[in-house]
Structure 1
């Protein structure tokens, strides 16, 4: 065949026909483009889906839409689970189908412009060279879908149902209620009072406890890093010891020490010095909150201390010598040299400390199980949002409202983290510091 006739064949190649064939059956467009291996793979996938998965996907989407129609026989939560899985699978298949159409059309345009399709052997070689790394990420992507995305979608959808102890399958069907749960959270007095109180305390707890542990860790790191301090290794070892002890052990010990009746703090310190019956650490919300802030400061400062110590040792002494030449004071050197370098190196980790304490379930529950009780509220005096969600889920079985609060928590954390990460200098070029 002459070169001229080949060019005519290329020009006659129709991208619209390739697109149309790919819409009719995935892979036909690739076959038309003479990409036989890729087209065969798409055809096999579509036929396999149509034969084996189509009915299951339809059933799952029906269950997701209705949550069942026959009480006692249809299990709404199981249908919701199957529906979410069917929805995820449908999205993945739709993405593959769209990719099939786009791929067929783009390659048809390239062929029309003179590109010659590769043979099977060369296609396999190109696939190995270019697509192999992406193929290796597929197991991790699938794991993320079923470990992260699936529970997240399920929790979000659960917030728009009336799933609770008094409306549980299979005896009763769960219904979609729209934004009714969100409305109740801000209009029904007991939910409104509890939510505002717990949210306010969660914010105060997060900011206060985290800031204290960062401040104590920074203060101790600055002192130990001073060249006039001797026995630095011993001092650092002592300060890091609280970090070496498991946190739940430390919390339980502190819970016993703060006990109103037999705790060492009341019995051996408060009562001998001030008399009376001691401080109600566990039965008064104000004192209980103060106690867990102190405990979290104790638990959190060793990590911050170790982190800041490493950063301080990495700062070049030339900076401080230049500041001495310019007559800079200790405060000025800290403000313009030490502190900016610390923030530049540790800002993401410090943001994570705030996010972690926002959801710090362990200390709240192990210290006093979120108590003491508060009148006209269904959460305890030290409950934060995450411990309140735990109680709603496992103690009162109010799953829908727990999902609503979890969704609000996720939005708060995501918004805070996104804003802070965008603002921090740790994600900018070093020359911009």
Structure 2
């Protein structure tokens, strides 16, 4: 007598539909009661505690308020961004709930049997452990990094400024108007082009100088003929030991037009006159800033390159000597490629850091001197201009728009350079 094998009628489609209707129902259908109950509790708690807040947030980010003096547009914008983040987090969990229910239903249909309660708890703990450890950090990252970034991006598309501040006035969405002002309105256009061009010059020249100086000194000190290497390295690295802001303030005093040591004790005794306008002429101020940044930045580069040079095998240089290579050829084909291969990411970071190097620009002369017809100083870079727009002029939306441009420039530059450099290739393919 032949007995037919019993047919498993467990339907994955039913589990999928139930999990879509309400989180956890699909798991209950699969007889995964603990997991299903957990999903149900989470969804009910979310609906009870957050539904009203999310409704307010979505209305607020869409309208930014309708009654001046009563609705606070910035608060509503914050509520809206938080609501969107909460919806994204809950939506991700909901998608996971649906996929999990369908996946387990398919396994059950194919003959899989759920483990016992104690085994399922142990299995669930093992699988969830990485998420339990990274979950708090991820949540902190979302609300300390992603949220401020989204808030700044949103402000760039509003008209939030000193004369249009809530709660007395309502902030409105203005689209790309702030970006258009940067390229069409004379005051903003002239200032933006001037500040942007100086920012590029400052980034390239100051960073390149400190890299060149650090490389030159590292190669020089690493030469076999140089004695007292430890003493020389200690002396050369001393500028790095002094806090940067202290050095900047000292240099600001030394280059003061009226009482600074550079004019009073060097320029005037040697050349006469009243000295050079270090703080009142943008040309001289920019030169000083580049020199100071070179002084402050080269010790790190020097230490970095010194470590790389000490790891290069002498056999390579001996082989080059046998082939009759000159000092320049050895530097070009052995030393420099190894240095760039090992330090390219850090050198890129030096450029991106100086692009946003607020400290030296502001501490030395607060971005001055003033320039007629512009609302930025003669040595302001984009980040220091953003600071002034935010705290001095209360042009919050314009500051946010420029910050967005800064972020895009730095991101594009970093991605392009990382793709072009060989720092992420295999050493054998160098």
| Alignment TM class, shorter chain as reference | over 0.9
1:36 touches 1:120 (CA, 8 Å); kept in 2?
no
Compute the displacement of 1:3 (Å). Answer: 10
Compute the displacement of 1:86 (Å). Answer: 1.0
Between the aligned partners of 1:112 and 1:3, the Cα distance in structure 2 is 20
Structure 1's 284 and 115: CA in aligned 2 closer, same or farther, altered over 3 A?
Answer: same
Q: Of the candidates 114, 117, 124, which is equivalent to residue 114 of structure 2? A: 117
Deviations 1:373-395 (A, max 9, x none): 11111000000000000000000
Asked if 1:161 is matched to 2:195, the reply is no
Compute the displacement of 1:88 (Å). Answer: 0.5
Compute the displacement of 1:335 (Å). Answer: 0.8
Between the aligned partners of 1:3 and 1:224, the Cα distance in structure 2 is 89
Structure 1's 78 and 3: CA in aligned 2 closer, same or farther, altered over 3 A?
Answer: farther
Asked if 1:16 is matched to 2:4, the reply is no
Asked if 1:289 is matched to 2:286, the reply is yes
Asked if 1:333 is matched to 2:333, the reply is no
Between the aligned partners of 2:407 and 2:115, the Cα distance in structure 1 is 48
Q: Of the candidates 207, 212, 215, which is equivalent to residue 209 of structure 2? A: 212
* Between 17-26 and 265-274, the greater mean CA deviation after superposition: 265-274
Between the aligned partners of 1:429 and 1:120, the Cα distance in structure 2 is 48
Give the equivalent residue in structure 2 for 1:266: 263
Give the equivalent residue in structure 2 for 1:388: 385
Compute the displacement of 1:58 (Å). Answer: 1.0
Compute the displacement of 1:5 (Å). Answer: 4.9
Deviations 1:63-95 (A, max 9, x none): 111111111111111111111111111110111
Compute the displacement of 1:115 (Å). Answer: 2.2
SS at match of 2:148: helix
Give the equivalent residue in structure 2 for 1:249: 246
Give the equivalent residue in structure 1 for 2:230: 233
Give the equivalent residue in structure 1 for 2:190: 193
TM-score norm. by structure 1 comes to 0.97
Compute the displacement of 1:114 (Å). Answer: 2.4
Give the equivalent residue in structure 1 for 2:302: 305
Between the aligned partners of 1:270 and 1:345, the Cα distance in structure 2 is 43
Between the aligned partners of 1:161 and 1:334, the Cα distance in structure 2 is 54
Structure 1's 415 and 106: CA in aligned 2 closer, same or farther, altered over 3 A?
Answer: same
SS at match of 2:219: helix
TM-score norm. by structure 2 comes to 0.98
Between the aligned partners of 2:329 and 2:110, the Cα distance in structure 1 is 66
Give the equivalent residue in structure 2 for 1:64: 61
Give the equivalent residue in structure 2 for 1:366: 363
Between the aligned partners of 1:146 and 1:75, the Cα distance in structure 2 is 21
Asked if 1:96 is matched to 2:93, the reply is yes
| Superposition map of 1:10-49 within 5 A | 12-49=9-46
Between the aligned partners of 1:255 and 1:182, the Cα distance in structure 2 is 35
SS at match of 2:227: coil
Compute the displacement of 1:130 (Å). Answer: 2.5
| Superposition map of 1:338-417 within 5 A | 338-417=335-414
Between the aligned partners of 1:109 and 1:247, the Cα distance in structure 2 is 62
Between the aligned partners of 1:244 and 1:44, the Cα distance in structure 2 is 56
Give the equivalent residue in structure 2 for 1:105: 102
SS at match of 1:427: coil
Aligned residues: 429
Q: Of the candidates 416, 424, 428, which is equivalent to residue 427 of structure 1? A: 424
Q: Of the candidates 135, 141, 146, which is equivalent to residue 144 of structure 1? A: 141
Compute the displacement of 1:51 (Å). Answer: 1.3
Between the aligned partners of 1:385 and 1:47, the Cα distance in structure 2 is 47
Compute the displacement of 1:116 (Å). Answer: 2.1
